[in-house]
Amino acid sequence: MTLLAIAAAILISMMLALVRAMLGPSVFDRILAVNSFGTKTVLLIALLATLAGRADYLDIALLYALLNFIGTVALLRYSESLHRRAGQAPTREAI
């Protein structure tokens, strides 16, 4: 029962992260919200592994965490390169 409550809390925080990704005032806020959503997805997969009693799901969670990190870094570098081409410093106010 406790694990189901934890799963519900993770799902609620994932919904809040999606709202933040849609309503974020800047690109950086949206990227951070998507990264947070990915991290919570890893937590949910790990919780599913615990509930199902299957340790091989943890390998999937680890792979997803790695892809989430690489994707976030790639998006941030792409965003930074767009601002450099436009001649702006990548600050919150410029976005």
From the list 95, 82, 6, 93, the residue with the least C-alpha distance to 48 is: 6
Cα–Cα distance for residue pair 71/62, rounded to 1 Å: 14
Cα–Cα distance for residue pair 60/63, rounded to 1 Å: 5
Residue 19 has pLDDT above 60, yes or no: yes
**Average pLDDT along the chain:** 90
Host domain of residue 23: 2-86
From the list 43, 41, 39, 19, the residue with the least C-alpha distance to 30 is: 19
CATH value at residue 20: 1.10.287
Q: pLDDT tens digits for 40-55?
A: 999 999 999 999 999 9
Is 93 part of a structural domain of the chain?
Answer: no
Number of domains in the chain: 1
What is the structure's pLDDT at 91?
61
Mean pLDDT of 67-74: 95
Is 63 part of a structural domain of the chain?
Answer: yes
Is 95 part of a structural domain of the chain?
Answer: no
Q: What is the pTM of this model?
A: 0.82
